Structures are given as C-alpha cells and as structure tokens.
Structure 1
C-alpha cells in the first residue's frame, strides 16, 4: 500500500478523537453532562466504549476537550487590539466583552456544563484551558498596556471575574449580551480607574 494512502495511527486516532469530541459536544449541549454516558457517545461514533478510552479520554476529559474546542473557535475569531485605535481601553474592553458575551450565549448550554463539572478536569486540561484564557485576555491586556495602565495582569483577572458575573445574567435570567455587559459596567469602570 502506498504511504500516501494511509495515515499514521496517531493521525487516525486524532481524527477519531475529534469525531468523539464533536459527538460529546452535541450530546452534552442538548441533554447535559450527567445524562450522557461514554457508551452512548461511543455508539454514536460507531466504536466501542473501550475504543473511546484507548483514545486517552474519559467522560471528564471529553467535557474538557469540548471546552477546548469551543474556546479555540472563539480564539480564532479574536480581533486583536491595534495600538493605532482611537478608542479608549474602557470602550475597547466593553466592545470586546460584548462580543464575547454574544458568542458565549450562543453556546450557553455547553458553558453551563463546563462551569458545573470543570472541577473534575485533570491538571493537564486545566493548564490547557488556562492557556486559552490567556489568549482570550490578550487583547484586553494589550489595550491596557497601550493606555499605560499599571497592574495589567491583576486588572485582566478582575475583568474576567466581572465577565463571568455578568454572564450569570444569561444563564440565570436568559439575558442578552447587552444586559450582561450593562450589569458589570459600573464595576468595570471602577476596575479601570487609575
């Protein structure tokens, strides 16, 4: 058989894992993490539960993989802060957070599952997700640096905490992105005082 006709085993395993993750995403989003088992995910993927485990993941890992997948999609769509912008850091950050709220509201069901069961992830997945968070926060940090704020890391963490406080409005009250942003604007303004 020609080498070009077959993929290395690791590539096939990666493809299979992606299929399993996408199935897990759909099932977790529609029915919830607790109501979906590995057997069902495996059956939909056309493989056995043992084959899922041989991919190196369990159910907790699959949820983390789903979160990594949706975060990566968000990261790929990030518009970086440009220093030539005539907009203040506060205005840029408000617009940026509004866009993030819109994206997160679209995937609210999976975000809820991640928030509820993320404590079960391994340290490996926690580190990967934190790395993605840093990528998501980079435009905010860049805007703060451009406007010569101090304590940029601390401010970024505070802004991210506020973001999640605002997002609770979407989860608890089915609020839209603007309502989520409106809820945190006074605290955000305080966070960005010099």
Structure 2
C-alpha cells in the first residue's frame, strides 16, 4: 500500500514539474507573440511535447494563460511588504506609495498583464477564484492601512481603489505612461475614495 502511495505521489510530482515547464514556455510565447497568435501546437512544440500530452495534463490554452497569471501574481505577492503604521504617515500616503510600486511592477510585466486582462474572461471558475484570492492578498496592505486610520466601508473602498488602479494602468498600456503618470491620472478620484 505504501509503495502504491509513493508511486502516485511521484507521478503527481512529475506531472507538476511538466506543467511548470509548460507554463514557463507558454508565458514566454504569450508575452512575445500574444495569446491569440499562439496555438497549442506552438506551445507543445516549444515544450518538446505534443498537444495531446498537454490535454492529458489537463491543460488548455485558457488554463495556461491563467497559470501564467497565477505565477506572475504569486511572485508579486512574495514581494509585498505588509502595512506597518510606524513606517507610514496617513493611509492616503501609504496607498499612493503602494499603488506606485504596483504600477512599477506591472509596467515591467505589461505585455503579459495585457494578455491576462484581454482574455481573462475565458478562465474557468476555478482559475477565477484562485486569481481573486491572490487579488485579496494584493489588496490586504491597503485594507490594513484603511482599518488602522479608522476608515469605514473598507471593502467598498478597496474595490474602488483597485478599480481606479486599473484605470490608471490603462494609461501605461494605451499611452506607454510611466508609473508616476499612471498614479497621477487617478489621484483626483483616489482622493475622493480616501475621504473620511
């Protein structure tokens, strides 16, 4: 019985290593060529496998894009520093600085972020919920700052701030704006959301 379990665990690890390798290939291709221009044949050829093997691993093109976005988000989440009241002034100042840092990071990933934004509607519920969980982790320092500063309606304010964030980020995608220009474009609306 133990040997059977060990074999199953090893098989699962091998499958996960294959998936990780294929996701890296898909990331590179989506970033370079674009989601719509890349097919499963190109992905499988670049990963030294077959389209059938990809499907056996439970992957389709939409799943691969979602996996790429999950990995990009996970790396971003690893670098998030939690809110610390002693290191910041007001919640407003913290939020502006935090969004500026996120803009800098996302502009560096602009080509893959653009693909995720354009085709994320194709993800399954499973991936949508995983990405929403990550979003909650990304928003948490903002929420913590607002709670600390005594704001009300925290969830509504956070969702409003996040929506504004994407409006600002559109400036980077459409106009090749830098992080500060993205932040400056949303500051008037952000001030409204950060009023007590």
- Work out whether 1:44 is the aligned partner of 2:83: no
CA contact 2:74–2:134 (8 Å) conserved in 1: yes
SS of the residue corresponding to residue 85 of structure 2 reads: coil
Shift of 1:84: 2.5
Q: Could you tell me which residue of structure 1 aligns to residue 183 of structure 2?
A: 181
What are the ranges of 5 or more consecutive residues in structure 2 without an aligned counterpart? none
* 1:32-62 per-position Cα deviation (integer Å, ceiling 9, x unaligned): 0000011111111111111111111100000
- Quote the residue 2:117 is aligned against: 115
Displaced runs of 4 or more, over 2 A? 83-86
Answer yes or no: is the 8 Å Cα contact 2:143–2:155 preserved in 1: yes
Q: What are the residue-to-residue correspondences of 1:37-186 with 2, within 5 Å?
A: 37-186=39-188
Q: Which residue of the partner structure matches residue 23 of structure 2?
A: 21
Distance 1:159 1:38, change over 3 A: same
- Report the 3-state secondary structure (helix = DSSP H, G, I; strand = E; otherwise coil) of the residue aligned with 1:33: coil
Give structure 1 stretches of 5+ with no counterpart: none
CA-CA distance at 1:189 after TM superposition: 0.6
Aligned residues: 191
